[in-house]
Structure 1
C-alpha cells in the first residue's frame, strides 16, 4: 500500500506504514476524538483543526498539542522526481471538499491572493476546516455566502 511521511511540529519526521496504521486500535469517541491503544498504552487523541488542501492537522494527544503534516506516497514520488507540485498546478476553482456550512469568507471579488492565503472556513463534521488558496491569483467570483450550507463539490470560489 505504501508509506506516509509525517512531520510533527516541523521537527520530528516519521515514516508510517499503512499496514501498521490499519492495525492501530482506535475507537472513535466523538466526531473529533479517538481513544487509541498502542503497545498496551492508552492515548486520548482529538483533531482540533484540519486543512485538507495541505494535509495539515492540529492534534491533541493526552492534552499535548501537535502540528502534523502528512506526505502521501504520491507527494514523496513527485518530490523525488524534482517536481514541485506548486509549479505544475493551475487551479481555477475552489469546490467544497465535503458537505458543510460556510462559517466565514475572508476574501472578496477582485482580491489578489497568494498561495496558502485563507479563503474561507467550512464547518464539516463539527470541525472547522480552513480552505486556503492553492495558488497566487485574483478572485473572479464567490458563489457562496457566510451561513450557506454547501454540498460536496459545490463551486465556492473562482480565480481569474
Structure 2
C-alpha cells in the first residue's frame, strides 16, 4: 500500500494492484504517456528527491508536488518518527561529571554541526563536546573552571 500526497492537501491510497494496472510508457527521459479510462495524459517529472520521496510532476500543463510513502514509511510515521527529520537537540548536557576546561562559543553565536562547543575534563581525559546540529547559542549555563555533575545543563540552543 502506498500513500500519495499531492500539493500537501490531497491524499490518496494506492494498492499494488492499481500500480500494476497503470498504463504508462516512457516516451523520453522523465516524460511519460499515460492512458487512463481511454484518456491520454502527458506527464513530465520536473524534479525528484529519492531520499525524501518527493517529486514535482507536470501533468497536462499543471504542476503538482507529490510525496509517495510506502509501507515502511507509514510504519515509521506511526511509531512517531519522521523520515529525514532534522536533529531537534535544543540543549547540551554533561555526559559525565567533570571540569569545564574551555568554552569555545559565546551567546548568540551561530554554530555548525560538529563545531567544538567546549572541553570537559573527566577522569584526566579531555573530552571535546561538539555541536549536534546547526544553530544559534541561546545561553551558556557554565563558566570555565566550573565542576559539573552528570546531566548538568551546559548549553542551550535557540
Scaled to the shorter chain, the TM-score interval is: 0.5 to 0.7
The match for 2:67 is 69
Q: 1:39 aligns with which of 37, 40, 55?
A: 37
| Change beyond 3 A, Cα 1:60–1:85 | closer
Structure 1: gaps of 5 or more residues: 90-110, 114-134, 138-160
How many Å separate the matches in 2 of 1:29 and 1:55?
23
The match for 1:54 is 52
Structure 2: gaps of 5 or more residues: 88-110, 114-131, 135-158
- Aligned to 1:6, the other structure's residue is in SS state strand
How many Å separate the matches in 1 of 2:133 and 2:4?
26
How many Å separate the matches in 1 of 2:56 and 2:10?
15
**Highest RCO, 1 vs 2 (Cα 8 Å, sep ≥ 6):** 1
Q: CA deviation at 1:81?
A: 2.2
| Change beyond 3 A, Cα 1:79–1:25 | same
Superposition CA RMSD, Å: 2.6
Q: How many residues align?
A: 94
How many Å separate the matches in 1 of 2:85 and 2:49?
21
The match for 1:112 is 112
Query: Greater CA radius of gyration, 1 or 2?
Result: 2
How many Å separate the matches in 1 of 2:58 and 2:77?
29
- Aligned to 2:52, the other structure's residue is in SS state coil
Q: 1:12 aligns with which of 10, 13, 16?
A: 10
